[in-house]
């Protein structure tokens, strides 16, 4: 008699964990502006299906096999995805190549952003205002050598901002 109850509670526990996990994917995708088509808990034949409100019309599904789930987002399989957008400063781009060119137009800004992200990852803490001069020095040093990534990592490791945290 214990085995069926244990199996039942195991399925309930896994279903709950999967739901929380998949909701994390769903939430992040929505926050980043991705078009979510379906949020499903479980696999197989849908037992319950609801279409969300306009303008998104997300399909919410509870499926027959509760040991998994997924979030389906819009991609090339659903037709052409419009890559055109506008940067915060108002510059427009039509595709990934134009976007890359806009990013490369200010190599110092791109290098500064990458330096800050790598420092955050390497030290476990975001750079402070006191680290700005050190970051500017790193960007200046790598600019002289054509912004090499290996040199960037080397400069970060040798920096006071890295070694003091």
Instruction: List residues with catalytic annotation.
Output: 22
Q: What is the dihedral of CA 118, 104, 139, 117, to 10 degrees?
A: -20
The token duo for 85 is 């957008």
How many Å separate Cα 106 from the centre of its chain?
Answer: 23
Is residue 146 within 8 Å of 107, Cβ to Cβ? no
CA atoms within 13 A on the CB side of 98: 10
Beta strand 59-73 with 85-86 is unpaired
């Amino acid at each position: 008699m214990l085995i069926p109850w244990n199996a039942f509670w195991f399925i309930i526990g896994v279903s709950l964990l999967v739901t929380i996990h998949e909701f994390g994917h769903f939430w992040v995708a929505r926050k980043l502006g991705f078009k979510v088509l379906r949020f499903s808990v479980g696999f197989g034949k849908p037992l319950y299906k609801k279409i969300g409100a306009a303008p998104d019309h997300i399909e919410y599904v509870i499926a027959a096999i509760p040991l998994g789930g997924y979030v389906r987002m819009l991609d090339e399989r659903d037709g052409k995805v419009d890559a055109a957008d506008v940067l915060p400063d108002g510059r427009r781009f039509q595709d990934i190549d134009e976007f890359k060119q806009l990013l490369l137009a200010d190599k110092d800004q791109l290098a500064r952003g990458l330096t800050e992200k790598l420092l955050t990852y390497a030290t476990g803490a975001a750079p402070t205002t006191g680290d700005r001069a050190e970051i500017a020095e790193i960007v200046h040093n790598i600019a002289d050598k054509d912004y090499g990534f290996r040199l960037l990592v080397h400069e970060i490791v040798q920096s006071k901002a890295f070694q003091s945290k």
